[in-house]
Chains A and B, each alone.
Chain A
């Protein structure tokens, strides 16, 4: 009898499948390697510590942290609403929330400009109130949160769906109010997914370029983040551009690596089969028990 040995080192895949897979790795890996060859290693410290570079790094770090925080505060509740409620408009909301993932950044920037710009939908009223976010660091944070929040929402929503509501139901039967349940049960349960969502959102904030350029402008220390600095340095000092690019690649790699921690994947970004499946069936069993109104059903 011919069987597919999925325990084999090849995972039971046909040999030919490894060729396109390897080419895929090259497609993404080679350009990174190509850049390493160009890096002016001896000048690297000087290039990275120039006034303009340091200003861009500092700004990128501050805005990315602020934007990620904003994405967490708004994105986590949004993810839970999308995962667990049955609102009639949920489908539309889901599409709207995920839009920034697929929009070209320059379109995101134009959208922000026509909304929060001086003559924008909201911006004109904010202007009257004396709130002017044009060309400010706030504009950068808004642009970054706009493009990064979907990553967080996706990550947390997926985990919330997979986890089900068993623990929450139990906690509620034990007398905890909805807010306590959210704080003491839901959030700790979703922590690994939240962690990888934060890392991805932060990485996306660091890499934001098009929306910032279109919406916020470019001024050293105020709106010129690392990617904008790279874009500009390219004109006069390609070596500096390469040096800063290397920094961004390393940061991105570390952040993506963080999302790959064993355990971080359990609920979220890249759900894995295996032990998890068994766990999930236990969850649904407990769910049924809970729904049947048996307090403490999870203990059986």
Chain B
């Protein structure tokens, strides 16, 4: 009994000190979704030049949480082409990934969800210049499937329980900019730290509406009803990708970057709802 109580007391201290434990990136897994495989892929296999198929080794990719589903699919296709290679991912918020990378975490490639976090990685010398833009995301309006507040477009948002991302995070900054540009008013009942949290509040019916990225709305499937916002294309969030400075796999890393920017990468990203360059 005494031991158990002591253990509990220790747990209390831990819990209080690490106020944010278990914060992680909830909901990232939801984004994982099977995409039907592109019919062109198996045909490409045998026609590769010999030198490319000799690529081998383990590649570690740090990628923004919103890339979860599409990158997992792309890795499968990549390893079909390069059977000796293996791709491992760490998915998290871009700011977390850059902080980890700058602190010396071992990664070969960084794919961030916005240019300012990539700029922080460049500033710290963690990635090689120049990063290349491989995708872009825009905002959509979402409501619960039954749309209880009868939201038709952004002008209906005034006076309803709407949830957005906090201005501190990229999707929130985009929301503020879009609202200014289109001249609609949002008085959110909650400003969340991640898109996944906005999605969760809306899909559970807790909030009547929310603003999230198009790709997140698509990955959520029937859990939410998405409404395109006319003019949303004017505010885009660009996704840059770069090879890490400390990589020991620079050839393989460059091959992954080229693959993401290539036709297969573009197809998969488009399928997931991203705009591609």
Interface residues of A (CB under 8 A from B): 28, 31-32, 101, 104-106, 113-114, 117-119, 134-135, 151, 154, 158, 200, 203-204, 206-210, 213-214, 216-220, 223-224, 226-228, 230-236, 238, 245, 248-249, 252, 255-256, 259, 269-271
**Out of B17, B26, B189, which one reaches A135, CB within 8 Å?**
B189
Known contacts A234-B95, A235-B169; A245 and B189 CB within 8 A of each other? no
Tell me whether B166 is interfacial, beta carbon within 8 Å. yes
Q: What are 10 pairs between A and B in contact, CB < 8 Å?
A: A28-B10, A28-B14, A104-B22, A118-B205, A209-B19, A214-B200, A219-B191, A232-B166, A248-B16, A270-B9
Contact A200 B12 (CB under 8 A): yes
CB distance from B227 to the nearest CB of A (A): 20
Contact B197 A213 (CB under 8 A): yes
In the complex, chain B residues 43-101 whose Cβ is within 8 Å of any chain A Cβ: 93, 95, 99
B8 lies within 8 A of A154 (CB): yes
**Is A235 in contact with B168, judged by CB distance below 8 angstroms?**
yes
B206 at the interface (CB under 8 A from A): yes
Q: Does B180 contact A (CB under 8 A)?
A: no
Contact with A along B17-53 (1 / 0, CB 8 A): 1011111001000000000000000000000000000
Chain A residues in 8 Å Cβ range of B5: 154, 158, 269-271
Q: Is the CB of A231 within 8 A of B23?
A: yes
The answer to whether B20 touches A231, judged by C-beta atoms less than 8 angstroms apart, is yes
State the B residues within 8 Å of A (CB). 1-2, 5-6, 8-17, 19-23, 26, 93, 95, 99, 161, 163, 166, 168-169, 188-193, 197, 200-201, 204-207
A contact residues around B201 at 8 Å (CB): 217
Q: With A217-B190, A230-B20, A235-B193 as given contacts, are A204 and B15 in contact (CB-CB < 8 Å)?
A: yes
**In the complex, which residues of chain A have a beta carbon less than 8 angstroms from the beta carbon of B13?**
28, 252, 256
Complex CA distance for A233 and B1, rounded to whole angstroms? 41
Instruction: Tell me the bound Cα distance from A102 to B51 in angstroms.
Output: 53
Please give me the residue from chain A that is nearest to B167 by CB atom. Answer: A236
A220 to B6, CA, bound (A): 36
Residue contact B193 to A232, C-beta cutoff 8 Å: yes
Instruction: Identify the closest chain A residue to B10 (Cβ).
Output: A28
Q: Assuming A207-B19, A213-B193, A270-B6, what are 15 further A-B pairs, CB within 8 angstroms?
A: A105-B21, A106-B26, A117-B204, A119-B205, A206-B19, A213-B197, A214-B200, A217-B163, A217-B201, A230-B19, A238-B99, A248-B19, A270-B2, A270-B5, A271-B5
Chain A residue at smallest Cβ distance from B24 = A106
B240 to chain A, nearest CB (A): 18
Partner of A256, one of B8, B12, B26, B95: B12
- The answer on a CB contact under 8 Å between A209 and B8 is no
Residue of A nearest to B26 (CB): A106
How many angstroms between the C-alpha atoms of A214 and B24 in the bound complex?
12
Report yes or no: A135 in contact with B190, Cβ–Cβ below 8 A: yes
